[in-house]
Structure 1
Amino acid sequence: MESDNKGMAKAKSKAFAIRIINLYKYLSTDKQEHVLSKQILRSGTSIGANIAEAEYAISRNEFLSKVYIALKECSETLYWLELLHDTAYLTEEQYTSLLADGTELKKILIATTKTMKPRNSPSA
């Protein structure tokens, strides 16, 4: 990752994970929702974990693979947010705020994958 994107992705993914953990606590305690909340907890915290792993990748391809996994987890998290909103577990305000943070993180990860394509891959 470019150093700016790397630091930004790491910081934003950690802040997003903290918000997701707090969302999980709220959903499981206040709303008594235990299925979707576990899914979003898993995918939402996995984003930062994969970014952390990417920092110590032993090759460019491994690094890119970890970033792609983080991107997939981010997309999955946005899906769970949408489901939670559409089933009235999240207010419009909660949804909009989390969606904005998740979408921003997704854009950073997409930009990273575009700048870090494997050297042996054909340009698209």
Structure 2
Amino acid sequence: MIIDYSEQLKVHKHYEIASQLIRSGTSIGANIWEAQSSESRKDFGHKLKIADKEAKEVEYWLLLCKSSEHIKNYDEELDGKLLSIQKLLSRIISTNKSRG
């Protein structure tokens, strides 16, 4: 969804925001993917914390998009998907920390 939305932003010439959004949005998945091959529980937690920080950055960029008068057709479903990812990351990080 984040790739599709970033492409829509590019079509409407919002290149900078599209670029920032695609970087932070895809970084979430990349860090989660990398965490699955972590070398230790600490490394696993660290990579998930990075994913969580990237999710916060995505939240920021989406807030800008949603608030801007220049950006139309904001997809509210992105907010729900992001919130689900953030909650899941938070639970995993918390569980990992308590087992550590």
Q: TM-score, normalised by structure 2?
A: 0.92
Residue among 71, 79, 86 paired with 1:106: 86
Residue among 1, 8, 27 paired with 1:26: 8
Runs of 5+ unmatched residues, structure 1: 1-18, 120-124
Change (3 A) 1:59 1:104: same
Cα shift readout 1:45-81 (whole Å, capped 9, x = no counterpart): 0000000000000011000000000000011101100
**Which sits farther off after the overlay, 80-89 or 57-66?**
80-89
Q: Is 1:97 the counterpart of 2:81 in the alignment? A: no
Aligned length, in residue pairs: 98
Runs of 5+ unmatched residues, structure 2: none
Residue identity in the other structure for 1:78: E
Q: TM-score, normalised by structure 1?
A: 0.75
- Output aligned runs, 1:1-124, within 5 Å: 19-29=1-11, 31-88=12-69, 89-91=71-73, 94=75, 96-117=76-97, 119=100
Deviation beyond 2 Å, 4+ runs, structure 1? none
Residue identity in the other structure for 2:44: F
Give how far 1:38 is off: 0.5
Q: Distance in 1 between matches of 2:14 and 2:25?
A: 16
Give how far 1:90 is off: 4.2
Q: Distance in 2 between matches of 1:35 and 1:114?
A: 34
